[in-house]
Amino acid sequence: MRAVIQRVSQASVTVDGDVTGAIERGFLILLGVNQTDTQDDVIWTAGKVAGLRVFEDDDGKMNLDLSQVNGAALVVSQFTLYGDCRKGRRPSFVAAARPDQARSLYESFVAELRGLGVTVETGIFQADMQVKLTNDGPVTLIVESPGL
């Protein structure tokens, strides 16, 4: 499982002109599911993301996590995170999970984050989405499960 996390001051996702999810301070999480991912990857990745200490404390140091700043997460599925561009000019997506597996693990990731006390908004799985954000910092990180 691969997650691109962007610390944001605001983010939203729109589908067919309707906002399906929006947050203020927190994380925009672009989530890719690999064909070998399992529930163990979901649990590990959600725990890692929820515990990331990348918000500034009173001393200006990145020392606080989402819960400590009352932050939220906007989770957007993105199979293109598993696009392999090493050969040719057209990415190969063979490592990405098939839609039924990816949907199940994506929904499980959202549920796991919520179970950890994170307020979560989402896009719509497999929809053509427009994502807007204000990256705070900018801070952008990649979290990848160790293939548990």
Residues 27-77: pLDDT tens digits? 999 999 999 999 999 999 999 999 999 999 999 999 999 999 999 999 999
What CATH number corresponds to the domain at position 91?
3.50.80.10
Mean of the pLDDT values across residues 5-32?
Answer: 98
For the chain, the C-alpha Rg in angstroms (whole number) is 15
Tell me which of 39, 68, 80, 130 is the catalytic residue: 80
- Position 147 confidence tier, pLDDT thresholds 50, 70, 90: confident
User: Distance between alpha carbon 95 and the CA centroid of its chain, in Å?
Assistant: 18
- Domain span at residue 22? 2-140
Q: Is 20 a catalytic residue?
A: no
Let me know if residue 146 belongs to a domain.
no
Q: Is the pTM of this model over 0.85?
A: yes
For residue 15, tell me if it sits in a domain. yes
Write the pLDDT tens digit of every residue in 98-138.
999 999 999 999 999 999 999 999 999 999 999 999 999 99
- Would residue 93 show up in a list of annotated catalytic residues for this protein? no
Residue recorded with tokens 């999480």? 29
Decide if 148 is inside a domain.
no
Query: Of the residues 6, 27, 45, 78, which is catalytic?
Result: 78
Any domain includes 145: no
13 assigned to some structural domain = yes
Neighbours of 33 (CB within 10 A): 31
Q: Is residue 136 part of a domain?
A: yes
With 0-12 / 13-18 / 19 or more C-beta atoms within 10 angstroms meaning exposed / middle / buried, residue 41 is buried
- Give a yes or no: residue 90 inside a domain: yes
Q: How many structural domains compose the chain? A: 1
pLDDT-based confidence at residue 148 (cuts at 50, 70, 90): low
Ordered DSSP codes for 13-48:
EEETTEEEEEESSEEEEEEE-BTT--HHHHHHHHHH
* 19 vs 123: CA distance, rounded Å: 9
